[in-house]
Chains A and B, each alone.
Chain A
């Protein structure tokens, strides 16, 4: 009898994950997995990675106490984990440095990557320049239009940026960028690696990308113990593909009393087929090399989802997060564009911080949950990136609201 568990592939999280890719990529993925495992056990690799993270990504980072916001809301004490302050402006630098270093150790000449908001593109272009590899970035035409500054940065860092449309039709977002990056990679497997933007795709990517982001939760744990002498009660993170959220949750998975909350984008309104809320409105499916929740129609065609935050507009989600959602260890909330914009404005006004639109989704959840919690509770909100990239787009969206 054939069932959900009849897979001979590795990289399963309950029934999710796997390696649903064309045969051409199978040995390539096996080689990547072997190289990754060998590198992570090699002290010289680890030493080089640690040095890069410290010198380039300026890790570890401190927590930021959002005093004004906490006082105004009158509930839980709110702390920010500020990945917006990272060089290249987001959490993506953590996994980009890891993945590009891995490519270099594997003797590859270049890297190919997908990007949505441009964060992974800029981070990967920067890491590739630093480590002497070529970089090809694939980005959807719609995302390029709303994140033009990011595209400029990639060019200035020496990357080749490829405009992606869905097969010549006039649309192109994150899913199309990843599809095209996978196509390009299958043609250039001999001398390039794919640098995945999130904890998605075929095994071993969901694990590799997650593991390069687990420093987030380790740092949150250490800094909480150091600064407030206790662990937090709640971690809130935005969920696009899920890498940042998994990274922020990882060290707390065993601590059952700590709430882990992921915030998906709903787009304009929460509605199946439009919202990129794969866990909230999607169904199990198989795409981009993995089995997980996808926004899809009844025939299994992938839906063209939209959100004001390019980095959350992915129709699927990390297979590991899907399993954590099913087991109810992680709670998922859905945030509309309007709620995210309102949260963005409040945090700008109260804390003087311009958070990215992706981060604003987590801030919206924090702002709605904090007043319900007692004052001695501590929540940590992950700001995945800086709003510098979104300033123009946010002004446009706010004008549309008026």
Chain B
């Protein structure tokens, strides 16, 4: 188990951000990661793009496609991760889909992830029932496999949370990733249920796009995950997104603290 992930939550509300590697190109991703680090995010989810990410809304889907269109390969993503690791200390979680890991070779992928300095792996289409194909390899290489709970999880929360590693990712709403005007789920009781069975932090993601929402979610959980709102800026501004992303992430950081 990565103690770095636990430390990201120590003494504060953790602010976790997602970006897709290679969107629109590797050098922009590198600059954005450094900017996120500069602003002081507590953890980074680095997306390894997949051609058909069925759990993503249009913003992150398009971001995945832009990265692949730019020619990004898995080895390029690992090389970037290894490179920024020299400058970024906060935990980095690789977020992707099962087939990207499967095609590269499960053990080979997870070993390389560990070498490159990843702390966790989040596979959006690998639920509790399928994780044994990946989790034992992750444990061997010191990578936490991140588990998710959703508004539909109900009786499943116990088994998911009790085996969860790193932190529990609490999905705020039905549907796929993407910005939402309001979050109507009773998240408080989901977070409480997760805490009953897991002695690790709980963070909320999906749909959080404004400082107000981030502040509200930080009240409820140990951390807040923001993806689509950042990726949308990268989509809108491309190579020039660094400043916009910094400003936005700064406002979210202040709201969470």
Question: Which residues in A have some Cβ–Cβ distance to B below 8 Å?
Answer: 1-4, 6-9, 18-28, 166-169, 175-176, 179, 182-183, 186-190, 283-289, 294, 296, 298-302
**Cα–Cα distance between A167 and B135 once the two chains are bound (Å):** 31
Total of A-B residue pairs, C-beta within 8 Å: 146
Judge whether A2 and B135 touch: CB under 8 Å.
yes
Judge whether B98 and A27 touch: CB under 8 Å.
no
Which residue of the partner chain B has the closest CB to A288? B54
Of the candidates B99, B148, B153, the one having the most CB atoms from chain A within 10 angstroms of its own CB is B99
Judge whether B51 and A301 touch: CB under 8 Å.
yes
Which residue of the partner chain A has the closest CB to B57? A183
For B175, give its contact among A27, A187, A288, A294 (CB under 8 Å): A187
* Contact indicator per residue, chain B 120-142, by CB within 8 Å of chain A (1) or not (0): 00001111111011111100000
**Cα–Cα distance between A21 and B74 once the two chains are bound (Å):** 22
Chain A proximity of B117: nearest CB distance (Å): 21
Judge whether A2 and B133 touch: CB under 8 Å.
yes
Judge whether B174 and A187 touch: CB under 8 Å.
yes
**Cα–Cα distance between A298 and B100 once the two chains are bound (Å):** 9
Chain A proximity of B152: nearest CB distance (Å): 5
For B40, the chain A residues whose CB sits under 8 A away are none
* Contact indicator per residue, chain B 74-106, by CB within 8 Å of chain A (1) or not (0): 100000000000000000000001111111101
* Contact indicator per residue, chain B 24-50, by CB within 8 Å of chain A (1) or not (0): 000000000000000000000000001
> Taking chain B's interface residues, is the majority helix, strand, or loop, or is none over half, making it mixed?
helix
Q: Is B58 an interface residue (CB 8 A)?
A: yes
For B179, the chain A residues whose CB sits under 8 A away are none
Chain A proximity of B105: nearest CB distance (Å): 10
**Cα–Cα distance between A296 and B104 once the two chains are bound (Å):** 12
Q: Is B151 an interface residue (CB 8 A)?
A: yes
Judge whether A24 and B132 touch: CB under 8 Å.
no
A selection of 17 A-B contacts at a CB cut-off of 8 Å is A2-B132, A2-B137, A9-B130, A18-B130, A19-B129, A21-B125, A23-B150, A23-B152, A27-B156, A176-B52, A186-B174, A285-B102, A288-B52, A299-B103, A300-B50, A300-B101, A302-B52
Of the candidates B68, B97, B132, the one having the most CB atoms from chain A within 10 angstroms of its own CB is B132
For A168, the chain B residues whose CB sits under 8 A away are 58, 62
**Cα–Cα distance between A90 and B156 once the two chains are bound (Å):** 39
